[in-house]
A and B are shown apart, each in its own frame.
Chain A
């Protein structure tokens, strides 16, 4: 399996297509950072306009931590589309190139072959997230400095002390990785069914869009199934940025408001990953390679 993993990682990073996602992420983040750097105060004024009557804000609200939060909110919805480009191509792309038949005639078990490929796609996803973390967090804090993180939730505002923020981002990125792994697994699963990459890539993106719409619409029918949709849980990295209050309504530093929600979401995403990857392996082992 590790032999396949090494080979697949080597192949992934030899393909120009791989760097499209990195280039797109870089361009997006740099443009947003530039926009906020030039005119960020107006943007923050707009965001906080509803709160200015009730709160008196002092200090620098637009710091690197807030910029990172804004970037994650914007990007983590779209990153799955970039992940689909690689994950949904893992098997179908080989079938399309005609290399799948050569690979399968090599003395490697089909389970190891599939696991190695999935791990390689996961490694790509991990590197993409590390790159996002570097640009969104490291570069933003360098450009905008640090400070307390002030986030407006639906009906309240959360202020997280700057010395309590970093571990939350580490947790948020780890959770985002799990969420993106579910997308990777979905793309990987769909790639088994096709002999060209376009079908599985479009199907992966379509499913994510469809599920996302169902996850966000407050229609009773949809609300019944929302807990079972992986897209409902993908956005729960935000739980890391909500703090518990004690009986005196004081913030408990280093706490998370709804830890159970995080666990539940992690379990649901984990189940999706296991089901998609196992399904892909079982189907691949039974499948005739006709490409």
Chain B
């Protein structure tokens, strides 16, 4: 049986007249890599900050490890590690000093060798005693990861962890998330605007917009090939639509939007569809199967397709 490790119920956060998060509910199960998606200003960071007690919700409740966050803040935070946007640490201290300081704040007193091993694990071996002000953004990010993991938390919350990283850094972050899930059995909640990165690591996904939930569900369901949207552009879309409606493909036709004809069907039927179109004299300009997270994201955030709990 799955254990709901984070439960967010009807949480809202209002700043003066702005609704940053609006009646948002979701849950994260133990072992999930939970992808938290939304456009800039959608309310992701506000929600993550509420999970970390940086911001107080205006309404609603947050339970983590079965306890109310408002009343069990310290016990809960002992079991959480986080990187919130860019990992700002003390630039006038060394990587080792920063790690030791935050380890102490996290309630542990690791030995020197444990701290050195942790720094080695994130690739800062040889730079342990250099001041952080000499570090690149990627190195600071790695130190931030070491700080987030040094107390062996059960949940790791990463808010836009790939911000400012080069492609290698982004790939390293992806591998780290997978490592945390598979090797260290951690639950990870990660927000990012890099949808392809989320797509590659997330087991569950939540998309929000204007503080409200648009989609939440298993990544495997959201990207189910049986639900692939086929977008067809032809020389005469209206005529093509009529032909399709009168054929066996009519059952797959989706409401018209834009300048193309859309069908929702299993991806494996695409060659047959293509063959049928050619045989029926349709002048094809393009056929695009859309099933990626980016497509789903654009689809739901365009405001045309609000879906919940797939």
A-side residues, CB < 8 A to B, are 3-4, 7, 10-11, 14-16, 97-99, 101-109, 286, 288-290
Contact status B105-A106, CB under 8 Å = yes
Contact status A7-B74, CB under 8 Å = no
Q: In the docked arrangement, what's the CA distance between A289 and B97, Å?
A: 25
Closest 7 CB pairs of A and B: A98-B88, A289-B54, A107-B77, A106-B105, A107-B78, A288-B55, A105-B52
With a cutoff of 8 Å between Cβ atoms, the chain B residues found around residue A14 in the complex are 90, 92-93, 97
Partner of A97, one of B82, B91, B107: B91
Q: In the docked arrangement, what's the CA distance between A104 and B88, Å?
A: 13
Q: In the docked arrangement, what's the CA distance between A107 and B154, Å?
A: 14
Q: In the docked arrangement, what's the CA distance between A106 and B52, Å?
A: 9
Q: How far is the CB of B14 from chain A (nearest CB, A)?
A: 11
Q: How far is the CB of B117 from chain A (nearest CB, A)?
A: 21
Q: How far is the CB of B75 from chain A (nearest CB, A)?
A: 7
Minimal Cβ-Cβ distance residue in B for A113: B105
Q: In the docked arrangement, what's the CA distance between A173 and B33, Å?
A: 59
Contact status B84-A106, CB under 8 Å = no
Contact status B88-A99, CB under 8 Å = yes
The answer to whether B65 has its CB under 8 Å from any CB of chain A is no
With a cutoff of 8 Å between Cβ atoms, the chain B residues found around residue A286 in the complex are 56
The answer to whether B170 has its CB under 8 Å from any CB of chain A is no
Would you mind naming 12 contact pairs between A and B with Cβ atoms under 8 Å apart? Answer: A14-B92, A98-B88, A103-B105, A104-B54, A105-B53, A105-B54, A105-B80, A105-B84, A106-B105, A107-B76, A108-B74, A290-B54
* Given A107-B107, A289-B55, 10 additional A-B pairs, CB 8 A: A3-B104, A4-B105, A10-B101, A98-B86, A99-B88, A105-B77, A105-B84, A107-B75, A107-B105, A289-B49
Contact status B55-A102, CB under 8 Å = no
Q: In the docked arrangement, what's the CA distance between A218 and B239, Å?
A: 94
Q: A16-B92, A288-B54 are in contact. Are A102 and B87 (CB under 8 A)?
A: yes
Q: How far is the CB of A95 from chain B (nearest CB, A)?
A: 10
The answer to whether B297 has its CB under 8 Å from any CB of chain A is no
Q: In the docked arrangement, what's the CA distance between A103 and B74, Å?
A: 12
Q: How far is the CB of B68 from chain A (nearest CB, A)?
A: 16
B: interface residue count bin:
20 to 34
With a cutoff of 8 Å between Cβ atoms, the chain A residues found around residue B106 in the complex are 106-107
Q: In the docked arrangement, what's the CA distance between A4 and B105, Å?
A: 8
Q: How far is the CB of A195 from chain B (nearest CB, A)?
A: 12
Partner of B88, one of A15, A97, A106, A290: A97
With a cutoff of 8 Å between Cβ atoms, the chain A residues found around residue B104 in the complex are 3, 7
Per-residue A-contact encoding for B47-63, CB less than 8 Å = 1, 0 else:
00100111110000000
Partner of B147, one of A98, A101, A102: A102
With a cutoff of 8 Å between Cβ atoms, the chain B residues found around residue A99 in the complex are 88-90
Q: How far is the CB of A166 from chain B (nearest CB, A)?
A: 39
Q: In the docked arrangement, what's the CA distance between A10 and B104, Å?
A: 13
Q: In the docked arrangement, what's the CA distance between A16 and B54, Å?
A: 29
Q: In the docked arrangement, what's the CA distance between A15 and B93, Å?
A: 9
The answer to whether B249 has its CB under 8 Å from any CB of chain A is no
With a cutoff of 8 Å between Cβ atoms, the chain A residues found around residue B52 in the complex are 101, 104-105
Contact status B53-A104, CB under 8 Å = yes
The answer to whether B26 has its CB under 8 Å from any CB of chain A is no
With a cutoff of 8 Å between Cβ atoms, the chain A residues found around residue B87 in the complex are 102
Contact status A288-B56, CB under 8 Å = yes
Q: In the docked arrangement, what's the CA distance between A7 and B93, Å?
A: 12
Minimal Cβ-Cβ distance residue in B for A99: B88
With a cutoff of 8 Å between Cβ atoms, the chain B residues found around residue A16 in the complex are 92
Contact status A109-B84, CB under 8 Å = no
Q: How far is the CB of B176 from chain A (nearest CB, A)?
A: 18
